[in-house]
Structure 1
Amino acid sequence: MSAAAPVVELKQITKRFPGIVANDSISLTLEKGEIHALLGENGAGKSTLMNIVFGLYQPDEGSIEIGGKPVVIDSPNKAIELGIGMVHQHFKLVEPFTVTENIILGMEPRKGLKIDYKSAAEQVRKLSELYGLQVNPHARIHDISVGMQQRVEIMKTLYRGADILIFDEPTAVLTPQEINELMAIMKRLVAEGKSIILITHKLKEIMSISDRVTIIRRGKVIDTVKTSETNPNELAEKMVGRDVTFKVDKQEPKVGQTVLKLSGVNSKNKEGISVLDNLNFEVKAGEILGIAGVDGNGQSELVQAITGLRKIDSGSITVEGKEIANLSPRKISEMNVSHIPEDRHKHGLVLDFTVSENMVLETYYKSPYNRKGFMNNELIDKHAEELVQAFDVRTPSIHNAARSLSGGNQQKAIIAREIDKEPTLLIAAQPTRGLDVGAIEFVQKQLIAQRDQGKAVLLVSFELDEIMNVSDRIAVIYEGHIVGEVLPKDTNDQELGLMMAGSLKQGGKAGV
């Protein structure tokens, strides 16, 4: 490291919220041209700290220096002025607008009274080329992939002249290929003189791309280490305060009767394009069937069709022999089907409801929570307290709004509610997306415990490690069609990757 002042120095930053100290006297430096990873469990205070650097929050105590000079960052505009850009976990893009319109929003170049769209698009194209981003300036946001949308967010910060970039959980929604592309982009950015703070809990990524790592646990800095001098096990232990196993322990499955069966399921989208194409598979009691595939090959539509969020055009979906295709979500839920949705904000929680209210979203109208149209709040609260404790949902109170919880704790709350229903069929869509290693281990154990109790579990995940570790059988989906079925012990990442890309088809298996 050079003797020059760090590009960013945080000194004893403290931030309190009602009932919680999110950041407890945190100090941290970011050197020029480095990628500094910020590692911690969900709710450890990583995002809060970076929101302070980006001016979204003000610290209660402590100070910030940029290039050795003390600064007060009282708004995102001030942060941008100081050359700080932030790529948020949940993108902040206007979907009907083009890439260029999103990038220049609020800083539109003008020609007289009109916006000079042409020169803006040209500038976007040049930036895209310089950093190897390959973004089409004229594409509309709703027409491009999640990975491309993230590149647009990166371009927004670069267009505004950022030299310090904060990435908040940037790979949570990316496919393995997009993750590799993002890593290459980040290396290109630091080679061009930018400095990056990377918030993540994916140890593989930290080891492959960062120069240093600062570990935060429950709001305090545990350690800062050089990446080259540590390993994933050591980092995991520092992060959660105990040994973490990366291997899932499970017995051989005791497989029973067929619970979920899909036969010849077809569904088209609004444009008339087939998103589920003659889909056939079944899940039996006491087993976990993993659905592997690259994002956008019909996984979301498949889960929506089973849970009643999407109509199918033809075919049959049965649970324990009863037809559920095109029934309402409530009717399907009442047939002992639980659903951990891939988008916890859209389909999992009502963010402005309390944690307690969210725990009874699917049962509030039934006895014992409802008597003659009146809610039994005392009983609902007692129930919520029990679930919060059993599933280690970290919240100062069950009366806090669900939106105040960290992403991982929101996910644990959903899992607690869905498992508490004692389902016959549990559908888990991206259940560990955006979770830290401790929480991932917890969620995977819950899925296996459900299987061991004789439940049928359908696991849909983009994480190949998770599919390989947790599933008893793996079905590969490609363009809305099951192209093959394998056992984890008989396959590897390479073979699955080829099947997921549609370049290796298997004969004689389900759905082919």
Structure 2
Amino acid sequence: MPNALQLEGVSKSFDGYKALSDASFTVKWGEVHALLGENGAGKSSLMNIAAGLYAPESGHLLIDDNPVRLKGPADAARERIGMVHQHFKLVKPFSVAENILLGLPKRAGSHRARLLETERLVAEKAAEIGFAIDPRQTVATLSIAEQQRVEILKVLLAGARILILDEPTAVLTDQEGERLLSTVRKLARQGAAVVLVTHRMSDVKRFADRVTVMRGGRTITTLDPAGIDIAELVKLTVGESPSLPEHTRNEAGPVRLQVRGLRSPERGGRRILSGVDMDLRAGEIYAIAGVGGNGQSELANVLMGLPEPCEGEVQVDGLGDLLSASPAQRRELRIAAIPADRYGLALAGNLSIADNFAIGQVHNGRYGGFWRLREGVVRADTRAAVERFDVQGARSPGQKAALLSGGNAQKLVIAREFSREPNIVLAHSPSRGLDVRAGAAVHQRLLAARDAGAAVLLISEDLDEVLALADRIGVMSGGRIVAEFERPADRQAIGKAMVDHA
């Protein structure tokens, strides 16, 4: 049987930076092939070439052992290659079905008839996979996890036989991820070829037939994951595995942030936020666990000052009503915000690393006025922060932020938000899509902020992350906190609370 997809001797540079150097990768029909590597190892760049988004500077791409030249994503789609990107490519004002219709071949009939047919197809495929998705719901109202499901449905319904999934389970619960990967493996057994770009070693061990490891833009090795344990796999990928420091529950200080009766307007007879009550104390990490789509994103938006209609009270120590606070007031209170969508909400990719870093203190005059920045001070502070927070791939303060890998982009966000020692940290899925090393670095920053006296709110759908970091855990379901647990918390009890109230 011919190979499904081969990339041989591929090289690619961005702004003088060598992202890929003689990299190779092969996936066969009927297999799930995992692709591992640290953030910035070149995995996404290599797969973006396979999906027609980038053109290689050298090397070859073959499909069914035949050389192919892709001039763009449309050519890749005609070759039945579909990629689900880690950072979503959805039109937020459109419905789920409208977004998926954009990626389907044009058929005869009116737009309304084609939309109705797409709604039917979405409902059928969602039910088959086990996704709870309303085809008519607007994407802007969906949680991060739900948007990920839409992207997966979009590729499957477009008829791709070579599926490239970039961190597909990063925003799914364990059960949802297992269901999805079981479906993906079934598709492979039916003849498809699946590339699984992931940092979850357990997913590789359980669902991959082969695994390829990349480092520094090069292919290091390809092997059978059944013949290697997770510790060895981690070491191959990132060297010695960094460990999270052991910590016991802190003695919490005074309440820094208090939420009472937070409700959003009714939509279709239900409220996304239906009465959230929560206290966030100095010197503790309070984590919110729960299945995606239960109001976590909306709560994060409210607390971070993003537009989200709601009623209720959010009181913050030193100010009072947080809901009416300006961005400048939030900065003066030293509230650090790390949103789940780092590229859409935390960084301006087309601006420089220096511009993205400096925006956090432009209001207080450190860098001069809006119309006349003190460029020398900005560059010096940016270089110091890049070094302190280990933002790799940042070759100069003038480099575009979009050229940073996911993990290093997240480090830049944290460097800016922690440029003044924070009193309150609001972090939503801070390690989503990051490799082991980058994720550990984020966790260590959150623990250090807590130990320095900050009140830290962690919203995460990764229960391992919650259990590792939290001093207290609140379970969110149906738009409210339904149960709370003290450290050390019982995983099964938390899971039961998540399910019983779903």
2:233 to 229, 232, 235: 235
- TM-score, with length taken from structure 2: 0.90
Separation in 2 of the partners of 1:141 and 1:325?
Answer: 25
Paired amino acid for 1:381 = R
Separation in 2 of the partners of 1:117 and 1:6?
Answer: 35
The answer on whether the counterparts of 1:307 and 1:329 sit within 8 Å (CA) in structure 2 is: no
Residue 306 of structure 1 aligns to a residue whose secondary structure is: helix
In the other structure, the counterpart of 1:413 is 412
Paired amino acid for 2:335 = V
Question: Compared with structure 1, are the counterparts of its residues 314 and 18 closer, same or farther at alpha carbon in structure 2 (3 Å cutoff)?
Answer: closer
Q: How far does residue 220 in structure 1 lie from its aligned partner after superposition? A: 1.3
The answer on whether the counterparts of 1:484 and 1:499 sit within 8 Å (CA) in structure 2 is: yes
Specify the structure having the higher radius of gyration (Cα).
Answer: 1
Q: How far does residue 371 in structure 1 lie from its aligned partner after superposition? A: 5.6
In the other structure, the counterpart of 1:508 is none
Question: Compared with structure 1, are the counterparts of its residues 269 and 318 closer, same or farther at alpha carbon in structure 2 (3 Å cutoff)?
Answer: farther
The answer on whether the counterparts of 1:127 and 1:155 sit within 8 Å (CA) in structure 2 is: no
In the other structure, the counterpart of 2:171 is 173
1:189 to 181, 187, 190: 187
The answer on whether the counterparts of 2:265 and 2:309 sit within 8 Å (CA) in structure 1 is: no
- 2:39 is equivalent to residue 59 of structure 1: no
The answer on whether the counterparts of 2:81 and 2:163 sit within 8 Å (CA) in structure 1 is: yes
Q: Which runs of 5+ in 1 are unaligned?
A: 505-512
**Correspondence list, 1:267-278, <5 A:** 267-268=264-265, 273-278=270-275
Separation in 2 of the partners of 1:233 and 1:468?
Answer: 20
In the other structure, the counterpart of 1:86 is 83
Separation in 2 of the partners of 1:126 and 1:304?
Answer: 28
Residue 27 of structure 1 aligns to a residue whose secondary structure is: strand
Separation in 2 of the partners of 1:340 and 1:136?
Answer: 27
Separation in 2 of the partners of 1:25 and 1:407?
Answer: 22
Once structures 1 and 2 are overlaid, which stretch shifts more, 14-23 or 155-164? 155-164
Separation in 2 of the partners of 1:340 and 1:30?
Answer: 36
Paired amino acid for 1:239 = T
Residue 7 of structure 1 aligns to a residue whose secondary structure is: strand
The answer on whether the counterparts of 1:263 and 1:315 sit within 8 Å (CA) in structure 2 is: yes
Alignment RMSD (CA, Å) = 2.9
The answer on whether the counterparts of 1:264 and 1:315 sit within 8 Å (CA) in structure 2 is: yes
Residue 358 of structure 2 aligns to a residue whose secondary structure is: coil
Question: Compared with structure 1, are the counterparts of its residues 271 and 330 closer, same or farther at alpha carbon in structure 2 (3 Å cutoff)?
Answer: farther
Separation in 2 of the partners of 1:433 and 1:116?
Answer: 38
Question: Compared with structure 1, are the counterparts of its residues 70 and 278 closer, same or farther at alpha carbon in structure 2 (3 Å cutoff)?
Answer: closer
In the other structure, the counterpart of 1:396 is 395
The answer on whether the counterparts of 2:255 and 2:282 sit within 8 Å (CA) in structure 1 is: yes
Separation in 2 of the partners of 1:149 and 1:321?
Answer: 35
In the other structure, the counterpart of 2:347 is 349
In the other structure, the counterpart of 2:436 is 437
- 2:67 is equivalent to residue 70 of structure 1: yes
Q: Which runs of 5+ in 2 are unaligned?
A: none
The answer on whether the counterparts of 2:164 and 2:194 sit within 8 Å (CA) in structure 1 is: yes
In the other structure, the counterpart of 2:462 is 463
The answer on whether the counterparts of 2:98 and 2:115 sit within 8 Å (CA) in structure 1 is: no
Residue 420 of structure 1 aligns to a residue whose secondary structure is: coil
Q: How far does residue 252 in structure 1 lie from its aligned partner after superposition? A: 4.5
- 2:33 is equivalent to residue 27 of structure 1: no
Paired amino acid for 1:407 = G
Question: Compared with structure 1, are the counterparts of its residues 126 and 434 closer, same or farther at alpha carbon in structure 2 (3 Å cutoff)?
Answer: closer
Residue 442 of structure 2 aligns to a residue whose secondary structure is: helix
Residue 53 of structure 2 aligns to a residue whose secondary structure is: coil
Question: Compared with structure 1, are the counterparts of its residues 371 and 68 closer, same or farther at alpha carbon in structure 2 (3 Å cutoff)?
Answer: closer
The answer on whether the counterparts of 1:141 and 1:149 sit within 8 Å (CA) in structure 2 is: no
**Correspondence list, 1:311-390, <5 A:** 312-320=310-318, 322-370=320-368, 374-390=372-388
Separation in 2 of the partners of 1:129 and 1:422?
Answer: 45
Question: Compared with structure 1, are the counterparts of its residues 17 and 338 closer, same or farther at alpha carbon in structure 2 (3 Å cutoff)?
Answer: same
**Correspondence list, 1:134-213, <5 A:** 139-140=136-137, 142=139, 149-213=147-211
Separation in 1 of the partners of 2:468 and 2:21?
Answer: 36
- 2:283 is equivalent to residue 299 of structure 1: no
Once structures 1 and 2 are overlaid, which stretch shifts more, 202-211 or 71-80? 71-80
In the other structure, the counterpart of 1:224 is 222
In the other structure, the counterpart of 2:37 is 40
Separation in 2 of the partners of 1:137 and 1:269?
Answer: 17
The answer on whether the counterparts of 2:104 and 2:157 sit within 8 Å (CA) in structure 1 is: no
Once structures 1 and 2 are overlaid, which stretch shifts more, 441-450 or 342-351? 342-351
Question: Compared with structure 1, are the counterparts of its residues 468 and 17 closer, same or farther at alpha carbon in structure 2 (3 Å cutoff)?
Answer: same
- TM-score, with length taken from structure 1: 0.88
- 2:121 is equivalent to residue 124 of structure 1: yes
Percent of aligned positions that are identical? 35
Per-residue CA distance 1:440-479 (angstroms, 9 max, x = gap): 1111011111111122111111110011000111122222
Aligned pair count? 498
Per-residue CA distance 1:417-444 (angstroms, 9 max, x = gap): 1112211111111111111111111110
